[in-house]
Structure 1
């Protein structure tokens, strides 16, 4: 893989214009021949509004719980040199975009006191300045920056995961259960969630401000356990304040130079809690019907879209299913499932959403997940096919157990070609949902981009390794490339 010829112009290096310090202008991971017939879609550019990704590989947001926890400190919630090292290194290793981890729009919206946040309404605040510093370096690597805005809701005011005792485990063949933060943990076993410890006021927590659509002891993340706070029910004025907070944080992120805004509506955090009848028992305009349960999300999306430039892409992450379809709680109240996700997806283009990031789970301790290499990819594919059948071109992202170059290639191959999938016949759809048998192999791309998280922790060089496996010549950075020639 030859190094990038764009970084050196004669005897003088091209300086990256985005940084207050010197670094050569780089763009590692870009295909040298992006339009060649042999170049897989994985390494072809993708334009979303005014943002162009050099390939289709995105670093998914990963909570690292590494910010200042003291609420009295002006640095509370601000990114640190750790985040620069973590995300900046991956930007230098060829990804198209790094996504900053779940970033709270309010202090009480954090998962833990160590979470990142963006609520200081001042473009010169420590939070905004730290984010701007990360953006400057990442841009110097020809990489884009996204940020995932979030509110933890009832899963808030817990200590960092490394302070938590090891959870109890019950063996159960053939299952995978996600932990309290929506992360897959262990195979062929059922993990009883003891995934957190309460952060009280002495631990910089906010026990009186843990909130949810519906409150009470039965609405804790793990009812009957002592690992989480019981939430209180949000009032309508408080809900409206949260909507405004999402818009404010989006505006601040753009001021810091962030390219893409993502709303976190997955993994049992506040927006997901409103979407699901399992956790939303309200009887006002924010509860009950599908329209009411999606109201908060729709208001958040509309507020953000109105607060950011027209050219800034807006993403949304959802849990496509809670994996509760056969659980007693779903029989009692219903749950958020794939059909609901497809129904929601049909509304999103009209709300200005450009990409739906499809994950799953995280809203109930008893979720049952049968893992396989495409257990979430297939969900993305099902939603994408339903969108295309309905004539929508909104992009879809796939995430979860994407580890091999060939798998990533196959997931999105052909997504850059319009009309890959012919419309399904009318009798093959039901309420706009494409009916598929479990495990059925369907033709065409499952997604338009892949989002990869832990694999980059195991293998930071993944983009270059994938390019080599797929025989795609890509550019390298000046500093790394000179050692590989």
Structure 2
């Protein structure tokens, strides 16, 4: 029996073999400084290669910084130099050898930058005077949360330089063998900081109304699309809401699902091929946050109202659940995160359970 979950999906000239994809997940495992700063190592190879051997159709690297100051922690991956490019080639070549499409998430952490690894002091900020620390930058001089370093407000010249860094990173990603470029506009990273009025207090052309707050994102999209091959897809990851408007106990203005649909139409006009739909911050209550598929309706709405392909993410753990999401047309693919950490062979196990088929290494054909 063939199910939708195991059918290929073609975006431009690229065909992804199935709809089971791996979401970007930070590993905080690169060297923090020196010649190996931001360079993928044996951990990254093993982490990504295992999921490819497990039949995952598309794998997106962790948030990969376009500049040293764009890392959320000093231990993040980067794509700002040729040493990083060369190390990534080993990974992308192996993923392709397993029939998996390699994708990269291009990112800048903005005001969330310069923090510890999550297992060290719960990701506490590293001050600019501390080892491996620096002063983060953002759309406005508003810290991420209590205890975070107050960021420097970016000037227009600095904004232009970051846009150029995204384009340069995309060029290097292509040279490294990646076939999908995903722009990280979610989860409180820099692009998301510009989008949300909660974090963007600017009064110039990069702030204020919807057009101003989305200008930075659209300039990055245009810059990346200009250097990325026309026959390969560009994705955009979005936090569909930062959950402020849904919270009756919070009167702050934030980014909304209506804004996401509106932005999706602007992204379509700029040749973005798929929106990776997540959410940001915390859901207003535990009941919502614990509900299966709680983020899927946001992806479904984008797909329904714009016709844009979408990938859904969040608490997708069971094969039947994933098949129901894709088979019903709520999303074109599912992105698995923690479930793929628990089970690198989730795709193979799902195929066995549902009667589908995924690529299997020839070495495992007896299994």
Short-chain TM bin = over 0.9
2:29 aligned with 1:66, yes or no?
yes
The alignment status of 1:245 with 2:206, answered yes or no, reads no
Counterpart residue number, 1:46: 9
Q: Which structure 1 residue ranges, 5 or more long, are not aligned?
A: 1-37, 166-194, 389-393, 414-443
Shift of 1:60: 0.5
The Cα shift of 1:473 comes to 4.2
Matched, 1:289 2:209: yes
Q: Distance in 1 between matches of 2:164 and 2:249?
A: 32
Between structures 1 and 2, the one with greater helix share:
2
Closer, same or farther: CA 474–154 of 1 in aligned 2, 3 Å: closer
Deviation at 1:295, TM superposition (A): 0.2
Paired residue total:
365
User: Residues 149, 475 of structure 1: CA spacing in aligned structure 2 closer, same or farther, 3 A cutoff?
Assistant: closer
SS of match in other structure, 1:161: coil
Choose which of 132, 149, 170 in structure 2 pairs with 1:204: 132
Change (3 A) 1:284 1:473: closer
Alignment deviations for residues 275-315 of structure 1 (CA, whole Å, 9 cap, x no partner): 00000010000000100100000000000000111112100
| 1:347 equivalenced with 2:266 (yes/no) | yes
Is structure 2 residue 97 aligned with structure 1 residue 136?
Answer: no
- How far residue 243 of structure 1 moved from its aligned partner, in angstroms, is 0.4
1:314 aligned onto 2:234 = yes
The correspondence of residues 367-386 of structure 1 with structure 2, limited to 5 A, is 368=285, 370-371=288-289, 372-386=291-305
Name which of 37, 42, 53 aligns with 1:92.
53
CA distance in structure 1 between the aligned counterparts of 2:269 and 2:222, rounded to whole angstroms: 10
* Other-structure match for 1:401: 315
**Cα distance in 1 for residues equivalent to 2:7 and 2:198:** 41
Q: Deviations over 1:243-275 (max 9, x none)?
A: 000000001000111000000000011000000
Aligned positions of 1:70-469 closer than 5 A: 70=33, 73-120=34-81, 125-165=82-122, 195-207=123-135, 210-215=136-141, 219-222=142-145, 225-226=146-147, 228-327=148-247, 331-332=251-252, 334-362=253-281, 368=285, 370-371=288-289, 372-388=291-307, 394-413=308-327, 444-469=328-353
Matched-pair contact (CA < 8 Å) for 2:99–2:359 = no
Offset at residue 139 of structure 1 (A): 1.0
Root mean square deviation, CA, Å: 1.6
Conserved? CA contact 2:6–2:357, under 8 Å = no
Whether the 8 Å CA contact 1:265–1:271 is kept in 2: the answer is yes
User: What are the Cα deviations for residues 183-242 of structure 1, in whole angstroms up to 9, with x where unaligned?
Assistant: xxxxxxxxxxxx5232544421112xx111011xxx1111xx32x211110000000000
* Counterpart position of 1:7: none
- Return the alpha-carbon distance in structure 1 between the equivalents of residues 109 and 188 of structure 2: 8
Instruction: Answer whether contact 1:396 1:448 (CA < 8 A) is retained.
Output: yes
TM-score by length of 2: 0.96
Q: Which runs of 4+ in 1 moved over 6 A?
A: none
Distance 1:288 1:451, change over 3 A: same
